[in-house]
Copies of this chain bind each other. A is one copy, B any other.
Amino acid sequence: MILARVEGALVATRKHDRMTGKKLLLVRPLTVDQPNAENFKESNSTLVAVDQLGAGEGQVVLVVQGSSARLGMTDKDSPVDAVVIGIVDTVDMGKRLLYKSQ
């Protein structure tokens, strides 16, 4: 899974039937570039993930990708490859707190 920040949302009127009613977020992957980093490193690219947890802009989320993403959906036959499966509260690097949600 990857960590990512919610930055945007998209709308598509013409779409596959099973995508109807699904909330599509634009998220930016976040990593930790070295063990003693004090903040996330933001990716310079984005991907689209479905959200069923009510994630909001600016929140850090956990995203599952690939075929496993379908198991994160209520409808397991959805043609999706990235789904939000958690809204992150804290990330600890050993005893040091790297991130805490507000």
Give A contacts to B, CB under 8 Å: 1-3, 7-16, 18-19, 24, 26, 28, 31-35, 41-42, 44-49, 52-54, 57, 62, 64-72, 77-83, 85-94, 98
Q: How far is the CA of A82 from the CA of B41 in the complex (A)?
A: 20
Q: What is the count of identical protomers in the complex?
A: 5
How many angstroms from the CA of A91 to the CA of B47 in the assembled complex? 12
Name the residue on B nearest A77 (C-beta).
B71
Closest 3 CB pairs of A and B: A12-B86, A72-B79, A15-B86
- B45 touching A31 by the CB < 8 A rule? yes
A45: chain B residues at CB < 8 Å are: 31-33, 41
Instruction: Check B15 against A93 for contact (C-beta < 8 Å).
Output: no
Given contact pairs A3-B48, A67-B68, a sample of 8 additional A-B residue pairs in the complex whose CB atoms are under 8 Å apart: A3-B26, A9-B91, A15-B86, A31-B45, A34-B42, A41-B44, A48-B62, A70-B79
Instruction: State the Cβ distance, A21 to closest chain B Cβ, in Å.
Output: 13
